[in-house]
Amino acid sequence: MRILIVNPPHPAIGSRIPQEQLPPLGLLLVGGSLLDAGHDVTLVDAELGPLSHGEIVGKVVTHQPQILLIGHSGSTSAHPIVVELTRRFRRELPNLIIVYGGVFPTYHFHDILTQEPQIDVIVRGEGEATVPKLIAAIENGDDLANVEGIAFRSHDQIVETLPAPMIQDLDAYRVGWELVDLKKYSYYGGKQAVVMQFSRGCPHLCNYCGQRGFWARWRHRDPKKFAKEIAWLHRTHGVELFNLADENPTVNKAVWRELCEAIIAENLPVTIIGSTRADDIVRDADILYLYRQAGVERFLLGMENTDESTLKKIRKGSKTNTDREAIRLLRQHGILSLATWVTDFEEVTDRDFIHALRQLLWYDPDQIMSLYVTPHRWTGYYRIASERRVIQLDQSKWDYKHQVLETRYMPPWRIFLWVKFIEIILQTRPVALWRSFFQPNRASRHGMNWFTRMGRRVLAHELWNFFFGDFRVSNGPTLEQFWGAPQDHQEIPLRISR
């Protein structure tokens, strides 16, 4: 069948400010499965440019696909864009079959199929195995109710099929790299780049995490095969930087060590960045030299909060002393630490921000990224926060970089200024400036310098938008009134029992 895959443009800071893009890994994985099934597949990456909505519609109409697939990695905040585009696709091509996938539609499928008649089918959970089965059923005129892992309308009723079995062998599905021009993608200061996934899932039970349930149990690819794919991308396509999309790639020390050694054996001058947990870094103190030899130059560490009681409430499972030690160990081995810090978990006050500033200075991270708590309906934290009032009704702003929940003791502007003040202090203190411009470690200096440049642009963007572009409400609906009843009992890991 003639299939078109669309990666819609996203207005978030991470998409627009760097003026660098990474290829859409999730859509490429689905595309690879469809190519191997013998379909005619084309991908339109509207993030590049980005393309205007009119240009996207024009490309879709020109292509005249039989089936259109659409989704975005930032699926909650991207949903309004998907809705607008699919409505326009339907007006132009009334017979087009539109399939929508991602984390947000996985859980909000009932709302979407009720409110958006132009969307025909929603793929729930991992799509590599499900989508080819769905396409085959459509092509053969089979009953879609027999396709696991989807939701659709039938006779004005919404049908939710059985959850698809979790993919056990991640190496069974390849990335359709041929669907994009890899030379158009760069990151981290102009390095030709791709995003890859060594593992999926996470064994930890953080109750605010919007990804844990979607990916379910932790699994990993074969370390040697993964290292060879990195080598092929570097030697054949000139890829220099590999951004790991894993929630927690270092869960298994032996497996991670095997991957590092396999990459080292390939003798590649590549850069690897990604995310992991501070306790894994402390656990791996004796093999961090292998991290660096394999090309790891930066790890994002999800500190989330500096208050022990809050960390316990959100079931983070980490300690502030561990966080600090992880940062120290990474620096000792020439690896940058990017610490994420999330505010608004509790009813914050000036005293809380003073405490956070002191703690973050004590941590001494190389880079800091502040976020605002953004509750998802399928997480445990949503239930805890369900009675808090919503101040941001624009779903496209639910991207972790905008305040969405009201706090009882502080107005939004005061929280915003505190957060920006803390960021500025952390990134302009003398030791941070020295690391950005004068330290002898060339790789770390490059990473710090790039982050500093991005930070200046992000700050200007956020200041302008907070005071002149964003619109917040007072006395808004409660979180449950805005999104609906909690659904943490419906987490996808339930399919593991199958």
C-alpha to C-alpha distance for 308 and 321, rounded to whole angstroms: 10
Beginning with the edge strand found earlier in the chain, give each strand of the sheet holding 40-45 in spatial order.
40-45, 2-7, 67-70, 97-101, 121-123, 150-154, 157-160
Q: Do 164 and 130 contact (CB within 8 A), yes or no?
A: yes
| pLDDT, the chain, mean | 91
pLDDT 10s digits, 345-368:
778 899 989 988 999 999 999 999
Surface-to-core class of residue 489, CB atoms within 10 Å of its CB (0-12 exposed, 13-18 middle, 19+ buried): exposed
The least confident of 88-102, 104-118, 346-360, 392-406 is 346-360
Per-residue pLDDT at 497 exceeds 60: no
Query: Which pLDDT score, from 0 to 100, does residue 313 have?
Result: 55
pLDDT tier, 173 (very low <50, low <70, confident <90, very high otherwise): very high
Which pLDDT score, from 0 to 100, does residue 308 have?
56
Provide the pLDDT for residue 12. 79
> Which band of pLDDT confidence, cut at 50, 70 and 90, is reported for residue 496?
very low
What is the torsional sign of CA 485, 488, 492, 496? negative
Residue 45 has pLDDT above 50, yes or no: yes
For the record, the structure tokens of 408 come out as 């009882």
Q: Quick one: average pLDDT of 266-273?
A: 97
DSSP secondary structure of 284-307: TGGGHHHHHHTTEEEEEEEEE-S-
Specify the DSSP class assigned to residue 155: T
- Give dist(CA 195, CA 29) in Å, integer: 12
Question: Looking at residue 17, what is its pLDDT?
Answer: 78
So what's the pLDDT on residue 346?
A: 75
Dist CA 224 CA 221 (whole Å): 9
Q: Count Cβ neighbours within 10 Å for each residue of 314-337 and write b for 16 or more, e otherwise.
A: bebebebebbbbbbebbbebbbbb
What kind of architecture, by CATH, is found in domain 2-160?
Answer: 3-Layer(aba) Sandwich (3.40)
Report the range of poorest mean pLDDT among 174-188, 206-220, 326-340, 434-448: 206-220
pLDDT of residue 492: 53
CATH superfamily name and code, 181-482? tm_1862 like domain (3.80.30.20)
Q: Residue 493 has what pLDDT?
A: 47
pLDDT tens digits, one per residue of 209-247: 777 777 778 999 999 999 999 999 999 999 999 999 999
For residue 427, pLDDT over 60 is answered with yes
Higher pLDDT, 208 or 360: 360
Rounded Cα–Cα distance for residues 97 and 202 (Å): 34
Q: Residue 217, SS3?
A: coil
Predicted model pTM: 0.94
Give tens-digit pLDDT for 321-333.
889 999 999 999 9
The answer on pLDDT for 305 being more than 70 is no
The 10 Å CB-count burial string (b at 16+, else e) for 13-39 is bbbeebebbbbbbbbbbbbbbbbebeb
Measured CA to CA, the distance from residue 308 to residue 200 in angstroms comes to 28
How far apart, in whole angstroms, are the C-alpha atoms of residue 336 and residue 250?
16
Predicted local confidence at residue 13, as pLDDT:
77
The whole-angstrom separation of Cα 326 and Cα 301 is 9
Give all strands (DSSP E) within 211-366, no chain letters: 219-220, 241-244, 271-276, 296-304, 336-343
Span of 403-417, 464-478, 484-498 with lowest mean pLDDT: 484-498
What percentage of the chain reaches a pLDDT higher than 90?
A: 79
List, in sequence order, every residue forming a beta bridge with 490; answer none if it has no partner.
none
pLDDT at residue number 122 = 98
- pLDDT confidence tier of residue 316, bands split at 50, 70 and 90: low
d(CA 159, CA 373): 33
Which two structure tokens, joined as six digits, stand for 259? 């991957």
Higher local confidence (pLDDT), 209 or 47: 47
Q: Domain extents for the chain?
A: 2-160, 181-482
Per DSSP bridges, beta strands 150-154 and 157-160 are antiparallel
d(CA 394, CA 204): 31
Reported as a pLDDT band with limits 50, 70 and 90, residue 75 is: confident
